[in-house]
Chain A
Amino acid sequence: MTMVAQTGANTGVQGNKTPDPAKRAASWRAVRRAAITIGLALATYELIARTGSFPRALLPTLPMIVRTLFAMLLDGSMLMHSLYTLYRVLFGFFLAMVVGIPLGILMARFRRVEQFFLPLVSALMPIPSFALVPLFMLWFGIGNLTTIIIVFYAATFPMIFNTWSGVRSVNPLWLRAAGAMGADEHKLFWKVIIPGASPFIITGMRQSFLRAWIAVVGAEMIAASNWGLGWVIFDAKEFLNADIMLASLAVIGFIGFAFERLVFGSLERNTVMRWGMMRSAKS
């Protein structure tokens, strides 16, 4: 779904509650369309796999992948791998928010802080986190610490950058109005700047999580042992287990999608979209 930030004031009178049935029908249509696209892609894969031009072990058919997936779900190993990966990604993502949001706000509010950090952020942001894995492994060893630091590295910069932009784009009229109504710096911060910058902060969280999710799988391939979705994929190459790789990829895709839709999607719907600060693009 594409989001468009709404800047101008909306002058049209609308009902208090937006009519649901039409919207619901539209969203079902979107789901159907997505199902068709995915179904076609899967069918194409299955066809290619069944031509027999590639070895089965390298290009397993869908039923084989599903069987492997179920086996791994039933014996609990897939759950453990997922939990390890989720633990690492959420820990790193949480750290990125704790550091990124306040730093972004300070950069936007104080020229000195901006002058100091902006070059650093601009220089570090384009370095792919994956390229840092070997180095961090030397420093922090194999295991959770390295993967969490990699996730943190990947997730922090979009958080800083978006928060910084968001605070700078807070309508100065809100600050004036709040100031005239007696808001001190502390109240201004919590009651005006944070909600005023929330469309950007939420976008920052989305981008951060996406980068974190990509980073964790990469980091686990090299810097994790025994557990984690990235590790299981990398480990499977030793035994030519393409089915395990593909089953794990499906889980990675599913969890990423669930977070994007359920967590961030509903956060957005219940805040900035409800307030009309952001709306979904028209059809």
Chain B
Amino acid sequence: MPLIEVKDVSLAYDTPAGRVQGVLGATFNMEESEFLCLVGPSGCGKSTLLNIIAGFLTPTGGEILIGGKKVSGHGMDRGVVFQDFAQLFPWRTALGNVAFGLEMKGIGKEEREEIALQQLKLVKLEKFANSYPHHLSGGMQQRVAIARALAYNPAVLLMDEPFAALDAMTRDDMQRLLADVWKTTGKTIIYVTHNVAEAVYLADRVIVMTPHPGTVKAEIPITLPRPRDPLSVEFLDHQKQLLNYLGQGTSKAA
């Protein structure tokens, strides 16, 4: 049985200007420890879908099952990383941020700080444990956010363009680091991006969405051996294939 089942999920936003479709009938399954990328043109509903899976939004149609149980509201089986650096709590140090979820679970101070420090080591930030977020660079803040989402050991990690606001070089480093983290932790990850190269570098499988109102257009497995070489012919082939899917989508909508 798949770990996550997304069944015909739709959501319409109520706005003053009328109803706006966010996603329309998205369906896919996910296995445990799989790395799945959601790609699609801007405004197609990637964030909406991720927020539904996270439990921040309730779908107006369809349902999502995690481990056979229907999702309603957010829960500690899912960790979330947002695009915005401002997601960290500025009044807590890096360590304090990472320990937050453990604190909510009621784990004692000593134990949770030990676990938090291990998580910071995983993202190579143990030296900055006592720094406040405003003293960290954007990439470092996102790494703290990843450590924070992993610290209370959720089964699934949901990430919405976590590196989109970083410069290209930092972004490459972050992708490598994330691939390592995934390898060590074996987490099930859903990763939203509209960067095709990023998807090919990270994913076991890529879900391509149609333009607004978004639905699943294609599922493309990526079986290249890891660590992947972004300059290899096969890598570029996959990239081209994805771009084709996205490109066709755009021209049809126009």
Chain A residues packing against B (C-beta within 8 Å):
6, 8-16, 171, 173-174, 176-184, 187, 191-192, 195-196, 198, 271, 274-277
By the criterion CB–CB under 8 Å, are A198 and B135 in contact? Answer: no
Taking a contact as CB atoms under 8 Å apart, the answer to whether B79 and A180 are in contact is: yes
Residues of the A chain whose Cβ atoms lie less than 8 Å from the Cβ of B84: 9, 173
Q: Does B141 contact A (CB under 8 A)?
A: yes
**Chain B neighbourhood of A198, CB < 8 A:** 91
State A6–B89 Cα separation when bound (angstroms): 14
User: Is B132 engaged at the interface, CB distance under 8 Å to the other chain?
Assistant: yes
Interface of A is mostly: loop
The CA of A177 and the CA of B75, in the complex, are separated in Å by: 11
Within the complex, which residue of A12, A176, A177, A192 is in contact with B137, where a contact is CB–CB below 8 Å? A12
Docked complex Cα distance between A152 and B19 (Å)? 48
Residues B82 and A177 in contact, CB atoms below 8 Å apart: yes
- Chain B residues contacting A182 (CB-CB under 8 Å) are 75-76, 101, 104-105, 152
Q: Is B70 an interface residue (CB 8 A)?
A: no
Q: A192-B89, A275-B90 are in contact. Are A179 and B133 (CB under 8 A)?
A: no
When the two chains form the complex, which single residue of A180, A184, A195 contacts B80, counting CB atoms closer than 8 Å?
A180
Verify A177–B80 contact, CB threshold 8 A: yes
The answer to whether A16 touches B101 (Cβ under 8 A) is: no
Instruction: For the complex, give the distance between the alpha carbons of A276 and B86 in Å.
Output: 12
Contact, CB under 8 Å: B91 / A181 = no
A12 to B152 alpha-carbon distance, docked (Å): 29
Chain A residues near B212 (CB-CB < 8 A): none
Residues of B contacting A179 in the complex (Cβ-Cβ under 8 angstroms): 56, 74
Query: Which of A12, A177, A191 counts the most chain B CB atoms within 10 A?
Result: A177
- Tell which of B85, B86, B130 has the most Cβ of chain A within 10 Å: B86
- Give the complex CA separation of A251 and B3 in angstroms: 71
Docked complex: B122-167 residues within 8 A CB-CB of A: 128, 130-138, 140-141, 148-149, 152
Q: A173-B82, A176-B80, A180-B74 are in contact. Are A274 and B132 (CB under 8 A)?
A: yes
Could you tell me if A277 and B82 are in contact, using CB atoms closer than 8 angstroms?
no
- Other A-B pairs beyond A180-B56, A275-B91, A276-B90, 9, CB < 8 Å: A174-B89, A176-B80, A177-B148, A180-B78, A182-B76, A191-B100, A196-B89, A271-B91, A275-B134
In this assembly, does B87 line the interface, its C-beta being within 8 Å of a C-beta of chain A? yes
**A275: chain B residues within 8 A (beta carbon):** 90-91, 132, 134
Which of A12, A177, A180, A198 is the most central at the interface, judged by chain B CB atoms within 10 Å of its CB? A180
Q: Tell yes or no: B54 within 8 A of A by CB.
A: yes
Jot down 18 A-B pairs with beta carbons below 8 A, ordered by A: A9-B84, A9-B141, A10-B134, A10-B135, A13-B136, A171-B86, A173-B84, A177-B89, A180-B149, A181-B101, A182-B152, A183-B100, A191-B100, A196-B91, A198-B91, A271-B91, A275-B91, A276-B135
